[in-house]
Structure 1
């Protein structure tokens, strides 16, 4: 049976496009009000108007850059000022970079860690007591199939997503008796703006999935009687994930490096 979110509020980061926008659409179709957070305020406002008209929900928007630590507290301050109690949190904001670490822009690498790890951790911590007390919503942290093995040429990205997967599984255990559904969503290559930001198609491994397919996987996990702490989207990606966990690093690294064009 599909979980309904009527009468609750979901906060979605990175909501201006891709997976974040699709999560927003699906959650409103199930009755949730929204708080949409991303850098591109105009896109958020357009989406909010569209979803309010289509589903009769209320959508609030906050344009801010979660790669800046000062914004993390700003998000909580915004929902408090609006009198919103968040029952579902989707930490989707993040980006990847491609290239060997020795040649990477240090500022860009630092930003990648701040957004993929710092913002996700800070927002999870800020809202977790509310999510647990409500016990009717969900925590979805977007990881990646890159989290299952070291990724040469995307060393920082792969490591940040390994953190997300490990962190989320631990939080799922800690909150297991609260009614909160917690999962780390691990998509592979997805037709979003991700590769435009990365700047290289070498970062793509395997067939593309659509945002609709990936979010459908997440919602099936949330609808399950026992939500898995980690869910991989796509059958082929699940095979890759299993192999990544079983293969010794010395054996897996050359294969991964070759797939990444290195």
Structure 2
């Protein structure tokens, strides 16, 4: 049986990955901050699918958190066949007025932890000439996003980084996939402190399960990138091909400068 490591596994897309992979008889290593949520999920998956589920309670914004995760897995003599870098968060608002430490924590989690974990597990996969990495980006990574400036920039990094790794590692039998969801039914809008008027403005909200289904299908096909959520999201990610960058950024700014209750 193969083993998957999932960060941000206590809810949303990470939890959906855990459930879908468990149903495929994949052993799991679940990483997140919430011990209670992880333990509950692990117990449910062990009982239902008769698989091995390990839990690592760790905040990946902390110094040396990735080292701690890697060392724990190494000490347990586990082989990670699939790494899913899912953990991340956003923050809505005018950059100059947002909390600076939160912006740095976002970069630490969305970029630095992802890069660090990838760099730790990728060489081992190359040595075995097998393995897969799924990095979670966003449709926000395809263009600048005023009022989500740091979040969109981190997701642009993940998109570019992952597609480059896809090309670098094909000859080593290692597949790298970047997943770019649109609005999804998770706690993202609440955690990012979106105005209620904006959080509820999108009629097409994918479920985490739909995102994961699309991701796993793309992984099986060997694709480098998948944009989930249908035609509307495809139009969004290709808008930069048809509009001047200045016009596109102004359009997004008008859309995201929400007026309403927080």
TM category, shorter:
over 0.9
Moved more, 198-207 or 73-82: 198-207
- Asked if structure 2 preserves the Cα contact closer than 8 Å seen for 1:203 and 1:260, the reply is no
Equivalent position of 1:199 in the other structure: 193
Moved more, 75-84 or 196-205: 196-205
Equivalent position of 1:231 in the other structure: 226
Equivalent position of 2:251 in the other structure: 255
Whole-angstrom distance in 2 between the partners of 1:218 and 1:246:
27
Moved more, 173-182 or 80-89: 173-182
Equivalent position of 2:40 in the other structure: 46
- Give structure 1 stretches of 5+ with no counterpart: 1-6
- Asked if structure 2 preserves the Cα contact closer than 8 Å seen for 1:87 and 1:134, the reply is no
Deviations 1:148-178 (A, max 9, x none): 0000001000000000000000110110112
CA pair 154-204 structure 1, distance change in 2 beyond 3 A? farther
How far did 1:244 drift?
A: 3.2
Whole-angstrom distance in 1 between the partners of 2:201 and 2:212:
19
How many residue pairs are counted as aligned between the two chains?
254
1:216 to 2:213 alignment: yes
- Structure-2-length-normalised TM-score: 0.93
| 1:38-187 correspondence to structure 2 within 5 Å | 38-187=32-181
1:25 to 2:22 alignment: no
- Which of 237, 243, 260 pairs up with 2:239? 243
CA pair 187-158 structure 1, distance change in 2 beyond 3 A? same
Whole-angstrom distance in 1 between the partners of 2:28 and 2:99:
35
SS in 1 for 2:171: coil
- Structure-1-length-normalised TM-score: 0.93
Whole-angstrom distance in 1 between the partners of 2:183 and 2:47:
32
CA pair 123-90 structure 1, distance change in 2 beyond 3 A? same
Whole-angstrom distance in 1 between the partners of 2:45 and 2:141:
33
- Asked if structure 2 preserves the Cα contact closer than 8 Å seen for 1:66 and 1:115, the reply is yes
- Give structure 2 stretches of 5+ with no counterpart: none
- Asked if structure 2 preserves the Cα contact closer than 8 Å seen for 1:67 and 1:111, the reply is yes
- Asked if structure 2 preserves the Cα contact closer than 8 Å seen for 1:148 and 1:245, the reply is no
RMSD of equivalent CA atoms: 1.4
How far did 1:131 drift?
A: 2.4
SS in 1 for 2:107: helix
Whole-angstrom distance in 1 between the partners of 2:220 and 2:105:
34
CA pair 242-205 structure 1, distance change in 2 beyond 3 A? farther
Moved more, 67-76 or 151-160: 67-76
- Asked if structure 2 preserves the Cα contact closer than 8 Å seen for 1:14 and 1:93, the reply is yes
Whole-angstrom distance in 2 between the partners of 1:126 and 1:205:
40
